[in-house]
Amino acid sequence: QIKKEIEIWKTEIRETLEGDFLLRGMPGVVDKTFEFRNNEDLERWIVTSDKDNEEGQSTCQLTVNQNGKGLFTGNLCLDVPKDGIIKKTGYCNMRTVRFKKSFQRDAHYDWGMYTHLVMRVRGDGRSYALNLGTSSYFDQTWNDVFTYVLFTRGGPYWQYSRIPFSKFFFTSKGRIQDIQYPVPLFNIASFGITLGERTPGPFHLEIDYIGLEFDPSHTEKFAYELYRLPSSIAAT
């Protein structure tokens, strides 16, 4: 294990010294961050549902099909367990494994030079939540997530979804927060896709790639108006 970590550390040093960072974030060029070509790519993801947490009966899986595309499939179930505690259920989620550097050091994705999230997908007409995790050392931030919705059309055709990072809004434990601010793109801990609709049944999302793009014409920093409310109404 030590030898493996040393090799990773050497690769990090080599990329720092020899990497051409000018080739990253070129206008109009999509840098593919996540692809689904083989089982090694799947190891970068964790798939969970309410059933895994004993909170429901939904099931899901992430596989690679014969065309080298990712398949996020399963069955969404809204039946609430009869335990007298859980009141609402029904979710399936795929999320990246926490990014780590050599010697198991926690690290973050630095997407600060990009303006858009780009995905090539083929869906089933459902809406999926795209989640950018920004947790840090303190446990108060472990549930901090910036979210936006991926609307799929359904049908046999692929669609390109190009979403500005300025459209993502701040949530915690699934609730939109009163105080909003732009995504700290230099501090992305994870990326995830969640299905939590109120329509039960099977679902199917085929993913070619998930990438990043820099658009110099996009100058919007944050899409939502910000208000500072009195402390008696909302936290300030």
- Among the residue ranges 25-34, 67-76, 226-235, the one predicted with the least confidence is 226-235
pLDDT tens-digit profile of 95-149? 999 877 777 777 888 899 999 999 999 999 999 999 999 877 777 778 899 999 9
Which pLDDT score is estimated for 205?
Answer: 97
Encode pLDDT of 158-203 as tens digits.
999 999 999 999 999 889 988 899 999 998 999 999 999 889 999 9
Query: Domains in the chain, ordered, with CATH?
Result: 23-213 (2.60.120.430)
CA distance linking residue 106 with residue 99, whole number of Å: 6
Q: Which residue has the higher pLDDT, 74 or 197?
A: 74
d(CA 108, CA 182): 17
DSSP-assigned beta bridge partners for residue 117: 163, 212
Q: 202-233: b or e for each residue (b if 16 or more CB lie within 10 Å)?
A: ebebbbbbbbbbbeeeeeeebeeeeeeeeeee
Compute the distance between CA of residue 233 and CA of residue 231 in angstroms, rounded to an integer. 5
In DSSP terms, which residues pair with 203 in a beta bridge? 74
Q: 19 falls in which pLDDT band (50, 70, 90)?
A: low
Torsion of CA 86, 151, 134, 170, to 10 degrees: -80
User: Which among 104, 98, 102, 120 has a CA at the least distance from the CA of 191?
Assistant: 98
More confident residue, 232 or 207: 207
Q: First-to-last CA distance in the chain?
A: 47
Largest CA distance in the chain: 59
What pTM was estimated for this model as a whole? Answer: 0.88
What does the DSSP 8-state code read for residue 20? Answer: -
* Partners of residue 45 on adjacent β-strands: 96
